[in-house]
Chains A and B, each alone.
Chain A
């Protein structure tokens, strides 16, 4: 931190920090510690006593085919959300960066889904894809596709991916557009003078300069797919059919509350926390790299 003039005061800084620290300790540090503790204990059938079991909960979890299945679903889901969401939003951002007339209107019409709650986005798409009355479901039936996401696991996964992407595209779009607009005009002009066409200019100059933004958005999208999509899953599929959309964050909720297995839920929480921390560290690396530019 750079040196700056500082106010004297012994008690005041602590008073100023107190509300933030209190909330952090009570609602964050303490529950996280509880999850850690749960993860190394096993409760008896009545929840009356518990005994220390070390890493047994983790071992049990990694032996559980349902958990491994859930890891696989999460990987496919987040890869699909990130790839589709980033690809489409980059395309739209490049186009919006190019046009002059109507650019503001396009931007406004593309960013509003950011304000829509995942659960509400799920209701909108669930209505469009409702097997009996949904508009898109009927169009698909007209094309000869039997659409019933209540029974078909792949269709259910596709639907949650679509709803999640729709919800996240505006965020990606805003960042890509900001990234595109910060590409120096002089570079583009120089390469145009050297005879590079629009395609060549994009792939050789714009795209490499955008890669830090793209990498940052990749981690944000993975975090979103891992944790932000709970509402979408809960409204549309509840993890089904036959666990086809049972992503990790949904499973920790069902195991912790419905199946009442605190040992397993604690271990799952700890694993998820480790994943978030790893992703955050990756993100910070990105920030540090960017500073050197």
Chain B
């Protein structure tokens, strides 16, 4: 038996409480700041407790936006973020499943070439090749459109790789049995493989939703019309607003709004998220 020393358990709890406090402190301060009027914050003594301006601040941000920084209402930006995140997430999962299916279940010329071609995209984040990629999107007239926000970012191989790994663990006899029973390849994919992949799909959904929602540089580049702004990219413009002091209470309200959806997704799907994260990287 391993002994348990009470002083060590106590120290562990203390360390964890300190860690949790340090991790959660910025969130609490942001929340408190988002519930006070701006003059209270500018005095430089932030109250410990939330103020009474929560409704006023959040409804101002949601319906009118931070006008001085040239921002559209946050409700519009949240909608755009949602469209972008879901578009990237669903698009990635869909094209990756069929691509991985083709690679694992078929033999055809150039099969491994295709696999490697997809696989090298794992390596290069969009930030590295930002300028030529922007040029391509501009040439295709995709600036200021949802297609421009979504399609270039679904070119990633993480999901394909994960599904390939998963399909390789599915017993080959299943496909054989399906074939003997007269099921074609698409029927096998739809009725047998997809239901088996539910866990992988859920795990990828969490990770890719967060990836899509948190995109910053790409929406900053491809949108010039306010009606396509996403909530994450708007943060920078508000913090660095020219000529006016930043309205920190409204910025923090927007930041809270920008955090809530992905944090809820992570917490609600914690089990799949942790599993997915650890398994994608294997």
Asked whether, in the complex, the Cβ of A123 is within 8 Å of the Cβ of B127, the reply is: no
Contacts A6-B105, A27-B133, A32-B129 given; indicate if A117 touches B214 (C-beta within 8 A).
Answer: yes
When chains A and B are docked, how far (Å) is the Cα of A228 from the Cα of B121? 16
Q: Which residues of B contact A26 (CB under 8 A)?
A: 136, 140, 155
When chains A and B are docked, how far (Å) is the Cα of A231 from the Cα of B126? 13
Contacts A108-B267, A123-B251 given; indicate if A235 touches B235 (C-beta within 8 A).
Answer: yes
**B102 interfacial contact with A, CB 8 Å:** yes
Q: Which residues of B contact A113 (CB under 8 A)?
A: 23
Asked whether, in the complex, the Cβ of A98 is within 8 Å of the Cβ of B8, the reply is: yes
* Complex interface residues of chain B between 1 and 51 (CB less than 8 A to chain A): 1-3, 5, 8-9, 11-13, 15-16, 19-20, 23-27, 29-30, 33, 41-44, 46
Partner of A230, one of B104, B127, B175, B259: B127
**B244 interfacial contact with A, CB 8 Å:** no
Interface, chain B (partner A; CB < 8 A):
1-3, 5, 8-9, 11-13, 15-16, 19-20, 23-27, 29-30, 33, 41-44, 46, 94-96, 98-99, 101-108, 111, 114, 117-118, 121-125, 127-133, 135-137, 140, 151-152, 154-155, 160, 168, 172-173, 175-176, 179, 184-186, 188, 210, 213-217, 232-233, 235-236, 239-240, 248, 251-252, 255, 258-259, 262-263, 265-267, 270, 273-274, 277-278, 281-282
Asked whether, in the complex, the Cβ of A31 is within 8 Å of the Cβ of B44, the reply is: no
Partner of A116, one of B43, B262, B270: B262
When chains A and B are docked, how far (Å) is the Cα of A262 from the Cα of B136? 15
The proximity string for A residues 177-221 relative to B, scoring 1 for CB distances below 8 Å and 0 otherwise, is 010000000001100100000100000000000000000100010
Q: Which residues of A contact B282 (CB under 8 A)?
A: 287
**A10 interfacial contact with B, CB 8 Å:** yes
Asked whether, in the complex, the Cβ of A117 is within 8 Å of the Cβ of B232, the reply is: yes
Asked whether, in the complex, the Cβ of A106 is within 8 Å of the Cβ of B132, the reply is: no
Q: Which residues of B contact A19 (CB under 8 A)?
A: 94-95, 98-99
Asked whether, in the complex, the Cβ of B98 is within 8 Å of the Cβ of A124, the reply is: no
When chains A and B are docked, how far (Å) is the Cα of A127 from the Cα of B265? 25
**A65 interfacial contact with B, CB 8 Å:** no
Query: How far in angstroms is the closest Cβ of chain A from B101?
Result: 6
When chains A and B are docked, how far (Å) is the Cα of A117 from the Cα of B220? 14
Residue of B nearest to A36 (CB): B132
Asked whether, in the complex, the Cβ of A5 is within 8 Å of the Cβ of B179, the reply is: yes
Query: How far in angstroms is the closest Cβ of chain A from B247?
Result: 11
Residue of A nearest to B172 (CB): A4
Partner of A6, one of B107, B121, B251: B107
**A67 interfacial contact with B, CB 8 Å:** no
Query: How far in angstroms is the closest Cβ of chain B from A7?
Result: 4
Residue of A nearest to B121 (CB): A28
Contacts A227-B127, A234-B216, A257-B131 given; indicate if A9 touches B16 (C-beta within 8 A).
Answer: no
Contacts A20-B160, A117-B216, A119-B235 given; indicate if A110 touches B130 (C-beta within 8 A).
Answer: no
Q: Which residues of A contact B131 (CB under 8 A)?
A: 35, 252-253, 256-257, 262, 265, 269
Majority secondary structure, A binding face:
helix
Query: How far in angstroms is the closest Cβ of chain B from A166?
Result: 7
Query: How far in angstroms is the closest Cβ of chain B from A179?
Result: 9
When chains A and B are docked, how far (Å) is the Cα of A269 from the Cα of B131? 9
Q: Which residues of A contact B251 (CB under 8 A)?
A: 123, 127
Asked whether, in the complex, the Cβ of B23 is within 8 Å of the Cβ of A166, the reply is: yes
Query: How far in angstroms is the closest Cβ of chain A from B51?
Result: 15
Q: Which residues of A contact B255 (CB under 8 A)?
A: 120, 123-124
Q: Which residues of A contact B270 (CB under 8 A)?
A: 108, 111
Q: Which residues of B contact A13 (CB under 8 A)?
A: 102-103, 106, 108, 111
When chains A and B are docked, how far (Å) is the Cα of A17 from the Cα of B151? 16
Asked whether, in the complex, the Cβ of A118 is within 8 Å of the Cβ of B105, the reply is: no
Asked whether, in the complex, the Cβ of A119 is within 8 Å of the Cβ of B216, the reply is: yes
Asked whether, in the complex, the Cβ of B105 is within 8 Å of the Cβ of A7, the reply is: yes
Asked whether, in the complex, the Cβ of A109 is within 8 Å of the Cβ of B23, the reply is: yes
Partner of B118, one of A4, A21, A230, A287: A21
Asked whether, in the complex, the Cβ of A235 is within 8 Å of the Cβ of B240, the reply is: yes
Asked whether, in the complex, the Cβ of A88 is within 8 Å of the Cβ of B259, the reply is: no
Q: Which residues of A contact B104 (CB under 8 A)?
A: 1, 4
**A16 interfacial contact with B, CB 8 Å:** yes
